[in-house]
């Protein structure tokens, strides 16, 4: 048992850890247990929930469909980057092994929908909230959302004059506006599956600044949970509960960032200690070989030309000597 625990701990460390939380789903879908799930398996879970045939086999046993005639018509996912979890109690939670990128999960799911409904117009929405209105304005259903004012978000410990806090509150304000827009009736059931994917990365910086157990981070988690609940309720209302709402948290980027920082520091000290040269570009080997072999070919070509010119017969081989001779013969 100890060996198994060590192996599982090693796998979690290598992949990065996170959480897959199911916030809302139709009664026809059943989630059981708390077995860990790989992020690369999520496209199969979402596809199966929509009634699609899965393309890859998985041993995960936490998901069952009891009624294939009452499946969701929309997948709504909030992907939170840089944190392991947000302390959410609502829903069904599974440890997530982050061996993939949430962006690829969305692209895989969107591709499968387009392949099965090529003549329809499903809503395939992906909004990175850190991009603000730039991403939102790409979709007609969000037409009219003009504000991302963080002052509209109630908070006590977070401060607007702190950049990390302000960025997070702006994301929450925009997510709240999106929930209000959905609740106003811009979407509805049309028997064509839709995907709504919202990415939040600002909580990462806020948690790093204040600490994961700080009062500010706890307040931020609570504010985010309330915003997720509003989004879930809005979509459930408009899709008559035929919606699958989930939250994906992942600290994989946080792990990579910390490892890169350590690596950069170490490399800098090695340069000073061992007087190492600067790192070359990845294109350097190709450029070096092109210049090297072109120079070699040109050198031998010039040598061959010089040798041939030096051994040329002036009277017979060279047109230069023929045309410049003072006794040149002409045809009459």
| pLDDT tens-digit map of 40-93 | 999 999 999 999 888 777 778 888 888 888 899 999 999 999 899 999 888 999
The pTM of the whole model exceeds 0.85: no
pLDDT of residue 234 exceeding 90: yes
In this prediction, residue 263 carries a pLDDT of: 46
Most confident among 20-24, 49-53, 185-189 (mean pLDDT): 20-24
How far, in Å, CA of 35 to CA of 33, rounded?
Answer: 6
How far, in Å, CA of 161 to CA of 180, rounded?
Answer: 27
Question: Residues 211-231, buried b or exposed e (16+ Cβ, 10 A)?
Answer: eeeeebbebbbebbbebbbbb
CB contact at 8 A, 98 and 18: yes
What is the pLDDT confidence band of residue 16, given thresholds at 50, 70 and 90?
low
What's the CA angle centered on 125, arms 82 and 78, to 5 degrees? Answer: 30
């Amino acid at each position: 048992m100890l060996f198994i625990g060590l192996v599982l701990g090693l796998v979690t460390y290598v992949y990065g850890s996170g959480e897959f939380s199911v916030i809302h789903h139709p009664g026809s879908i059943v989630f059981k247990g708390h077995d860990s799930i790989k992020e690369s398996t999520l496209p199969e879970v979402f596809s199966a929930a929509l009634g699609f045939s899965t393309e890859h086999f998985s041993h995960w046993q936490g998901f069952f469909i009891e009624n294939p005639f009452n499946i969701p018509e929309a997948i709504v996912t909030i992907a939170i980057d840089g944190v392991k979890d947000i302390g959410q109690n609502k829903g069904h939670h599974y440890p997530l092994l982050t061996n993939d990128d949430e962006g690829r999960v969305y692209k895989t799911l969107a591709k499968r929908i387009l392949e099965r409904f090529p003549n329809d117009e499903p809503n395939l929405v992906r909004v990175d909230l850190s991009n603000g209105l730039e991403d939102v304005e790409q979709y007609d259903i969000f037409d009219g959302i003009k504000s991302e004012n963080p002052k509209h978000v109630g908070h006590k410990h977070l401060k607007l004059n702190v950049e990390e806090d302000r960025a997070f509150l702006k994301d929450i304000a925009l997510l709240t506006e999106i929930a209000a827009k959905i609740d106003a009736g811009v979407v509805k059931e049309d028997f064509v599956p839709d995907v709504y994917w919202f990415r939040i990365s600002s909580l990462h910086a806020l948690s790093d600044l204040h600490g994961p157990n700080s009062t500010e981070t706890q307040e931020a988690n609570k504010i985010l949970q309330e915003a997720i609940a509003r989004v879930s309720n809005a979509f459930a209302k408009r899709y008559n509960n035929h919606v699958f709402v989930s939250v994906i948290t992942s600290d994989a980027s946080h792990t990579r960032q910390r490892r890169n920082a350590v690596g950069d520091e170490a490399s800098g000290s090695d340069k000073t200690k061992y007087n190492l040269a600067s790192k070359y570009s990845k294109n350097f080997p190709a450029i070096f070989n092109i210049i090297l072999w072109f120079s070699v070919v040109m050198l031998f070509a010039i040598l061959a030309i010089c040798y041939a010119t030096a051994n040329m017969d002036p009277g017979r081989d060279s047109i230069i000597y023929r045309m410049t001779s003072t006794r040149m013969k002409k045809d009459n």
